[in-house]
Amino acid sequence: MCNQTRYLIFFQYIGTKYSGAVKVPPHQLERQGVQDHLERKNDKPPFTEDILVQALNFHLKAEQISITRAYRVPDDFHARFRALSRTYVYRIGLGVSHPSELPLIERDMCWNLRHMELDVEAMSEAAAMLLGTHDFSSFRAVNSDMPFKNPVKTLDVARIQPGRAFVCEHFHREIPFWELTFQSRSFLYKQVRRMTGALVAVGQGSISLTQLKEIMEARDSLAYPQNLVAPARGLFLTRVDYRESGVDGRGKNNNKTAQSNSVSYIVVDFSFFPLESIIIELIHYGVTLSEL
């Protein structure tokens, strides 16, 4: 006999190694941010959140993945659909013609632009056009889920501000960084990268505000110039908010939220990365969940 408990797990990882979909037999795990049933045999009590975090990190220490927090949640909790908002940050480094000119820790962590010039005021005007509720069809990439996804989204935050290097004190030159921040309850496939690419194009003078408005009003993914899409390497998922009463599994009724803030960014390439890679690594090491 096994006790079954559902947990919501927050984690951070370097996304280049773990990007893309992973296929595994359906009986091993489900494709969502919560591993459905962490089983304990012989009527043992469920793992505490702290013990679970320590155990997972112990078996993942050789990987570029770190579990930051875990919450017990109700059996019907769904990591994607219960989220109140998601916040993405896109990092841009200026005056860098090739990634090899970046500090090692910055490679694959930002979009390097050759020129120093970027009209941030025009970009801010363009970002303001994206705020609110719109049909973002022009800013989504074509994929198999497209017919089933509502293109109308509400963008609550679209902001451009100066950023900073992860490590700058010991590098021989100073590189100016900018960060583009976007917040919404959910995003379309590659929406953030497409919005970022369009804003950068406005900042570089490649397209005008009028042209951006025309792209948006076309409501057609084919209206978006394909050479404008920002590369994946600068995109970070930095925060996911949940209402605490739906996270802790103890029936609290309050207005607090559980946030996925962490010291390091969560590198991600799409709206919510599942727990698959973590569990697959555990299976690879011959560790079953019931043994943790």
Q: What is the per-residue pLDDT across 19-58, written as a single tens digit (0 to 9) for each?
A: 543 333 332 222 233 344 456 667 778 888 898 888 888 8
Which of the residue ranges 10-19, 213-222, 228-237 would you say has the lowest mean pLDDT? 10-19
pLDDT at 63: 81
Query: How far, in Å, CA of 178 to CA of 134, rounded?
Result: 26
pLDDT at 16: 65
Q: Are 55 and 47 in contact (CB under 8 A)?
A: yes
Quote the percentage of the chain above a pLDDT of 70. Answer: 70
Q: What is the DSSP letter of 48?
A: P
Q: Are 3 and 289 in contact (CB under 8 A)?
A: no
Which of the residue ranges 55-64, 133-142, 173-182, 239-248 would you say has the lowest mean pLDDT? 239-248
Cα three-residue angle 58-62-68, rounded to 5 degrees? 50
At residue 273, does pLDDT exceed 70?
no
pLDDT at 134: 97
Which of the residue ranges 64-68, 90-94, 221-225 would you say has the lowest mean pLDDT? 64-68
Residue 238 CB-density burial (10 A; 0-12 exposed, 13-18 middle, 19+ buried)? buried
Residue 14: name the closest of 184, 237, 200 by CA: 237
At residue 211, does pLDDT exceed 80?
yes
Please provide residue 105's backbone torsions phi and psi, each rounded to the nearest 5 degrees: -70, -15
For residue 219, is it left (φ>0), alpha (ψ between -120 and 50) or beta? left
Binned at pLDDT 50, 70 and 90, residue 122 comes out as very high
Residues whose CB falls within 8 Å of the CB of residue 267, separated by 6 or more in sequence, listed in order: 12, 13, 14, 15, 16, 109, 235, 236, 237
How do residues 153-202 score in pLDDT, each as one tens digit? Answer: 999 999 999 998 877 666 667 888 999 999 999 999 999 999 999 999 99
Binned at pLDDT 50, 70 and 90, residue 2 comes out as low
Q: What is the DSSP letter of 282?
A: H
Residue 17: name the closest of 193, 289, 278, 287 by CA: 278
pLDDT at 58: 87
Provide the pairing of β-strand 111-113 with 85-94. Answer: parallel
Quote the percentage of the chain above a pLDDT of 90. Answer: 38
Q: CB neighbours (10 Å) of residue 173?
A: 9
Query: How far, in Å, CA of 290 to CA of 27, rounded?
Result: 15
